[in-house]
Structure 1
Amino acid sequence: MKVAIVNLGRILNGEWREPVTAGDSILTEDGKILKVGTLSSAEVETAQIVIDADGATAIPGLIDSQVHNTFGDYTPRQKTVGFLESYVHGGITTAISASEVHVPGRPKDPAGVKALAVAALRCFEHYRPGGMKVFAGSIIIEPGLVEQDFADIAAQGVWLAKAGFGAVKSPYEYAEMVGWARKHGMITTVHTGGASIPGSSGIWADHLIAMKPHVSFHVNGGPVAMPDEDFPKLVYESDIALQVCTAGNLRTTLMLGDMVRSADVFDRFLIASDTPTGSGIMPLGLMYTITHLASLTDMPVEWAIAAATGNNARTYGINSGFLKPGKDADIVLLDACVGGTKTDPLDALRNGDIAAVAAVVTDGVPRFVGKSRNTPAGNRKVRVARCDIPQDFSGVAH
């Protein structure tokens, strides 16, 4: 299936250094982006679906790199059904597991944590709630795991490993197991800050530097932040990616946003939500963190969007997060909300307002066009201008 998006007012491509792509159109085919920029009338005619953006802004689908999924679109932590599908209406097109730690009665023995990771991976391989792609199956690192265990699950496709919830006596005990996970090609992530659930322990900068993971999860606190003096250590004495989360400490989020720009290491700055947790369900979580950074600091809003798209994609090695040919066709159209003081979505975000999500495309398939159920309506009339297949993508039911 080919989809053409025309009459765009602006295209943000997911890069923070050169965030804007000239042009007003995007063409996708069979789940991939074919062309970004300017389309000829002949190219538009080849599309089965044409979306008229009416001047809206295109961004890559947001990537929430810390979601505590379980099985299916349900979270027992908040007793909520359909939360992932609801996140799509907040512009989030990809979720990455922060481990299936909230599965009721989750196993903690080596065989059990391996089985849990493999089962979660398999369950979401072809299951797309609301069109969202979920990278599930992050092994929870527990005492008793040996190097062969990581080799075994890596051979079965598991590529995520999480430290921080295991029954270790000291966080330093994770270091060897994190090293084994890295050796077998896994992206390693570590809980950072105070304990978030009973039985876990606080993890600070010295622990992280000893472990050498790829990503420091909720470095701003999940929900309790580490001491301020630890942040420069991670910025200047490591190459660990530094992920801030909506469910964390806002003050340290803003502080770290300034620090990574001053140190010229913005590639390592990632945005996620860390939900569902005690903080709840947050379909607009990434949008709120983008607005906080853009309105309460002098961070360019284009950079904040890149931290929730391209920076996440590069860190995790996935094919979304950018509006470029060959990338997954995950696209979000933003507008300023009706009734707001701003008419441009980026100006609205700089003003501290959320933007209206006017359309979401994942895998090259429009999931809704015209109105999100989780944001106010936009000012522009984003619509399906032509559809040659028997399906209505208007989203009017929402």
Structure 2
Amino acid sequence: MEKFKKRPVTAIKNIGMIFTGDVDEPLIEGPATILMEDGQITAIQKGNIPFNGPTIDAKGMTVCPGFIDSHSHPVFGDFTPRQSQIGFVENGLHGGVTSMISAGEVHLPGRPEDPSGAKALAILAHKSFERFRPSGVKVYGGALILEKGLCEEDFREVSEQGVWLVAEIGLGSVSDIMETKQMVQWARKCGMKVLMHVGGTSALGSLRFTTDDVLAINPDVACHLNSAPTSFPPDEGKRIIEKTDSAIEIVYCGNFLTAFEIAKFMRNSLLLHRLIIGSDAPSGVGVIPLAIWRMVTYMSAMCGIPAEIAICCATGNTQRVFGLRHGKVKEGMPADIQIIDLPSGSHGIDAKSAIESGNIPGIAMVIIDGEIKVNKSLNTPPALRSIE
């Protein structure tokens, strides 16, 4: 396995199945071959095509996109002060997460709550993670926390410095709904994506907004509809689904009954293209390297959602909502890929059947931008087959 670490990957052959991450075309039956060049997927072809360059033999295993954690709370680097843990991003990589989106660097000790400090934190986090990818993971840091006193010029200033996220509304001091609406308008004029806290108050004292407040803001993402960590009643969540066009997020660090009701409702309403999955970690619940896989298997097994569609909620759906370049196994996109299989000891015949029975698949390999980052996951059960 060690020989793959610095070896350029140009082809994956003998693929048994591809979960594409595209909700409109989520599954490609194998055998199939993926060709990569300069970190991009250049071709996806049926069958095993002749190829003379460096090749990975998937041995009939399944390929799926690397996960995008839609809701994380990093600070700087691969350390979280929330649980005093080093390496939480690397551990997430071993859970198939190849990118993370910050919902706000709220866990910084001594976090400033004035406009200048809020701007400085967002800019610094954004530029820091632009220059440093922990273990190769793409961390989209630098989400502006809304604090009293921010003006339109402040939003232009941070936007010009590359900041494109508004941290989940409710983390900062702005509580008046009219003041919030004004700031959201300024943010949207700058092309920023707006996230909003939905649910009860968190351990760190986030503000509580009502369902009507969420409807008034119509955020790009209605964050953790199943938590915060205390969720709204499912009927209130359904109102938000029906009366906004927001992306609907469910997270691991939340209420699993509400997650069940929300996912089932969206399945029955043919709205799964709007559903995305995050961890909401690090948090009081902890650091959970397998959070996204746990939610994918939960949704598939408990809510009757096919594995290939559940995976879209952690990949292509999130890519579309946030306007990212990656998130699907598709020609022309970055080669951010997991190779997965039936875990040893599971019933079923492949990763799809394992997921749909509630078992986390074994991760045999994780690739980011065409480079192997994980040869064998340290966190999932072992895959039935292995790459040698």
TM value normalised by structure 2: 0.94
Q: Deviations over 1:63-88 (max 9, x none)?
A: 00111000110000000001101100
Report the Cα distance in structure 1 between the residues aligned to 2:115 and 2:154, rounded to whole angstroms: 8
Q: Tell me which amino acid in the other structure corresponds to 1:152.
A: E
Alignment partner of 1:35 is 2:43: yes
Report the Cα distance in structure 2 between the residues aligned to 1:172 and 1:228, rounded to whole angstroms: 26
- Pairing partner for 1:363 from 340, 362, 369: 369
Segments of 5+ residues of structure 2 without an aligned counterpart are 1-7
Q: CA deviation at 1:203?
A: 2.1
Q: Which residue of 2 aligns with 1:145?
A: 150
Q: CA deviation at 1:174?
A: 1.6
Given that 2:299 and 2:310 are in contact with CA atoms closer than 8 Å, whether structure 1 keeps it comes out as yes
Higher mean C-alpha deviation, range 322-331 or range 229-238 = 229-238
Q: Tell me which amino acid in the other structure corresponds to 1:82.
A: G
Q: Tell me which amino acid in the other structure corresponds to 1:221.
A: S
Q: Which residue of 2 aligns with 1:57?
A: 62
Report the Cα distance in structure 2 between the residues aligned to 1:138 and 1:73, rounded to whole angstroms: 17
- Pairing partner for 1:204 from 199, 210, 214: 210
Q: Which residue of 2 aligns with 1:21?
A: 28
Q: Tell me which amino acid in the other structure corresponds to 1:55.
A: G
Alignment partner of 1:186 is 2:192: yes
Q: CA deviation at 1:39?
A: 6.8
Report the Cα distance in structure 2 between the residues aligned to 1:286 and 1:104, rounded to whole angstroms: 27
Higher mean C-alpha deviation, range 79-88 or range 336-345 = 336-345
Q: CA deviation at 1:2?
A: 4.8
Q: CA deviation at 1:197?
A: 3.0
Report the Cα distance in structure 2 between the residues aligned to 1:198 and 1:32, rounded to whole angstroms: 41
Q: Which residue of 2 aligns with 1:11?
A: 18
Report the Cα distance in structure 2 between the residues aligned to 1:129 and 1:39, rounded to whole angstroms: 35
Given that 1:63 and 1:321 are in contact with CA atoms closer than 8 Å, whether structure 2 keeps it comes out as yes
Q: Which residue of 2 aligns with 1:396?
A: none
Q: Tell me which amino acid in the other structure corresponds to 2:74.
A: N
Given that 2:248 and 2:275 are in contact with CA atoms closer than 8 Å, whether structure 1 keeps it comes out as yes
In percent, how many aligned pairs have the same letter? Answer: 40
Segments of 5+ residues of structure 1 without an aligned counterpart are 384-398
Q: 2:234 is paired with a residue of what secondary structure? A: coil
Q: 2:10 is paired with a residue of what secondary structure? A: strand
Report the Cα distance in structure 2 between the residues aligned to 1:165 and 1:374, rounded to whole angstroms: 31
Q: 1:8 is paired with a residue of what secondary structure? A: strand
Alignment partner of 1:111 is 2:119: no
Q: CA deviation at 1:41?
A: 4.7
- Pairing partner for 1:124 from 129, 132, 145: 129
- Pairing partner for 1:241 from 243, 247, 262: 247
Report the Cα distance in structure 1 between the residues aligned to 2:367 and 2:273, rounded to whole angstroms: 26
Q: Tell me which amino acid in the other structure corresponds to 1:320.
A: H
Alignment partner of 1:309 is 2:324: no
State the aligned residue count.
379
Alignment partner of 1:252 is 2:252: no
Alignment partner of 1:222 is 2:231: no
Q: Which residue of 2 aligns with 1:267?
A: 273
Q: 1:346 is paired with a residue of what secondary structure? A: helix
Report the Cα distance in structure 1 between the residues aligned to 2:344 and 2:17, rounded to whole angstroms: 19
Q: CA deviation at 1:198?
A: 3.9
Q: CA deviation at 1:176?
A: 1.4
Q: Tell me which amino acid in the other structure corresponds to 1:265.
A: L
Q: CA deviation at 1:221?
A: 1.0
Q: CA deviation at 1:161?
A: 0.5
Q: 1:258 is paired with a residue of what secondary structure? A: helix
